[in-house]
Each structure stands twice: as structure tokens, then as C-alpha cells.
Structure 1
Amino acid sequence: MSFAGSFVLDKRENYDELATAIGASNDQIARGRNSRPTTEITVDGEKYTVKRIFPHQTTVNKFTLGVPAKLTLLEGKRAVATVTLQGSKLVMSNDNFSCVSEIVDGNLKEILTFNGKTMTRWSVKE
């Protein structure tokens, strides 16, 4: 199943807990809690571009499956991580952070974990 498309955040669980674990300020948490970012994903073979459009900023991550890449994570944190395709799931991981993404009923489901704290978010395809 292709990840390509544009998705708008619909709902999430445990955002505050994960953002606190990452070290986000109270202001960042409040802004993030109330935002509904759009995620645009383009795919060219094993090369992916993930663009997240927030009211206050836009982040762009480009990576090739299996190749370590410097990525912007939640709250603007930067880290080197490797993204792989495991079955129908995109799995990004490093020592402290992981994100498992999949398309469920045409929509984007992401499970993000940082230092043992997990958030799940669902985004609806536009």
C-alpha cells in the first residue's frame, strides 16, 4: 500500500505525555495540542519526502529506506534515524525514538515512542 498522499490530523492519544518526555515547553505543548497539521508524503521508489505543515512552521524530512538520515522529530528535535519498510509499515528508529506508520482504511496511523512514552495519532486522507 502506498504512503503517498496528503493527510490531516484527526485525533491523537497521549500527546502531552510524549511531548513532556521529549522536553517540550508548556507553550510548545499547548500549541501542539491545538494544532491540526497536514502531512504530505511523496514516494519515489525507496526515496520518501514527508512534509508536515503546522500553523507556525513546516518541517520536511527526506530519507531513503535503510539509509541513516538526519530528521526533524517532534517539537523540532533533530536526530539521526533509519527508516525501513517492514511489511506494510514504515519503521523509523534510533536509540531513543521510534515511529511506526501504516495506512489503515486509507488513512495514516502513526505510533510514536520516546524513552518509553507512546503517542498514537490518526490522520485522514484529503
Structure 2
Amino acid sequence: MAFSGKYELESEENYDEFVKRIGIPSDIIEKGRNFKIVTEVVQNGNDFAWSQIYPGGQSMTNKFTIGKEADMETMGGKKFKATVYMEGGKVVVDFPNYHHTAEIAGGKLVEVSSRGVALLVYCRKTNS
């Protein structure tokens, strides 16, 4: 499948400005700045399990089907309902206070979260 795989954070742009705009407290911003998050995606047709694995073993998984409403959770632990869409090969979803897209480009997982400024995250595929 196009998205299936394990991806390790390679680089990000506009981290500080973006997380301030979505209301993340400064102590959490500082702690998260150097996290090497691993994203694991399991895709089976239109069904996805999208996991973020943080240093220390803590993780968060959102399971969803393209075009159907699903229970989701933000990285801050806030639960919400959303419908995830596929547009031009990109997974697209609106979180409570930002818009998020993800695509595979040049063999990398590229995620863009935006709210007045765009947070760009580039992740390289791992072999594990």
C-alpha cells in the first residue's frame, strides 16, 4: 500500500511558531522540540491505523476509514470526531484547531499541519 511503513522524523520546519499558534504550553514545546518521533502507518485499502511513537515508548494511534467519521485523538490527548479524506494522493483531515495533510513524496512521508503558518515534517522510511 502507498502509505504503509515505519517512518522516522528527519526534519521539520516552523515547529515553534506552529505549536505556539495551536496553544501548546512552552514547557511542552521545549520538551517536544528534539523528539525523534516514529510514525507507523498500516494501510489496508481505505482503512488506516496511524501511530505516533514517542521517545520512552508512549504512543498514540488513530484508526480511520477514508470518507467515514472516526473517533480521533490529538497529540495532546484531546478526543474529537473527524472524517479523513483522500485528495490527490494526500490524506487530509481537520483537527480541532488546524488542517493536516500527509503524502508520500520522494519516498518520504511529508506531513503539513497549518494554522496561519505551516508546520512541515519530513520523515524517512525505516527498514524496521
TM-score with structure 2 length normalisation?
0.88
Cα deviation digits, residues 4-52 of structure 1 (max 9, x gap): 0000001111111111122111111011111010000001121100010
38-47 or 92-101: bigger deviation: 92-101
Q: Higher helix share goes to which structure? A: 1
Structure 1 alignment gaps of length 5 or more: none
- Does structure 1 conserve the Cα–Cα contact (< 8 Å) formed by 2:70 and 2:82? yes
Deviation, structure 1 residue 83? 0.8
**Identical aligned pairs, as a percentage?**
35
Q: CA RMSD in A?
A: 1.6
Matched, 1:91 2:92: yes
Deviation, structure 1 residue 79? 2.7
Inter-partner Cα distance in structure 2 for 1:94 and 1:52: 15
Structure 1 74/16 Cα, relative in aligned 2: closer, same or farther at 3 Å? farther
Mapping 1:36-55, distance limit 5 Å: 36-55=36-55
Q: How many residues align?
A: 125
What code does the residue aligned with 1:21 have? Answer: R
Give the secondary structure class of the aligned counterpart of 1:76: coil
Give the secondary structure class of the aligned counterpart of 2:3: coil
What code does the residue aligned with 2:36 have? Answer: R
